[in-house]
């Protein structure tokens, strides 16, 4: 059960770290994206029009911290032998990991799909990404892995 709880605590940690990084560095990343979109000859409004924002909103912070708190509590439950919550929440996290989180991992693909063809989405994402600490991508990838493969692992551990 210790390994299962460790996965849950790590998921909780990523749901704290990533939005804090987005809150701290997101405005600079958005400015870099705006400068890049202008460099490409497009109006800055195209980002807003297509809902491209590299920052963290208040709502996203509240949601992320709520998920973090939930996983921290579930980790404690798992450590104390109360596994029912894990059986309910881990499959939900797996689905969310498969459906929502790829947008963070494969950002260029999602930005490319959202913007007009003539926008160089890769350059836009590179410009925005250059404003975040280098380790941010690894934490995002770790959260994706923990939410998907980690959820499967937790269910396997609980089943044995």
Categorize the per-residue pLDDT at 103 as very low, low, confident or very high, splitting at 50, 70 and 90: confident
List the domain range (segments joined by +) for residue 23.
Answer: 2-159
- Cα–Cα distances (Å) from 24 to 5, 11, 76, 100, in that order, read 29, 20, 29, 22
User: Average pLDDT for residues 88-104, to the nearest whole number?
Assistant: 90
Categorize the per-residue pLDDT at 94 as very low, low, confident or very high, splitting at 50, 70 and 90: very high
Categorize the per-residue pLDDT at 148 as very low, low, confident or very high, splitting at 50, 70 and 90: very high
Best CA proximity match to 98, nearest among 144, 29, 153: 144
The interaxial angle of helices 121-129 and 2-39, nearest 10 deg, is 120
Residue 76 confidence (pLDDT): 96
* Residues in CB range of 102: below 8 A, 6 or more apart: 110, 144
Residue 55 confidence (pLDDT): 86
Residue 142 confidence (pLDDT): 96
Total number of domains constituting the chain: 1
């Amino acid at each position: 059960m210790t390994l299962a709880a460790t996965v849950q605590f790590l998921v909780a940690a990523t749901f704290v770290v990533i939005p804090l990084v987005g809150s701290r560095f997101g405005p600079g990343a958005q400015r870099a994206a705006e400068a890049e979109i202008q460099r490409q000859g497009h109006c800055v409004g195209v980002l807003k029009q297509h809902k491209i924002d590299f920052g963290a909103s208040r709502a996203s912070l509240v949601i992320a911290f709520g998920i973090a708190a939930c996983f921290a509590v579930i980790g404690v439950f798992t450590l104390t032998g109360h596994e029912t919550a894990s059986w309910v929440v881990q499959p939900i996290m797996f689905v969310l990991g498969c459906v929502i989180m790829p947008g963070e991992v494969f950002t260029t693909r999602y930005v490319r799909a959202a913007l007009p063809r003539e926008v160089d989405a890769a350059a836009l994402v590179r410009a925005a990404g250059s404003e975040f600490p280098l380790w941010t991508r690894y934490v995002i990838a770790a959260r994706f892995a923990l939410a998907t493969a980690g959820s499967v692992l937790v269910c396997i551990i609980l089943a044995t």
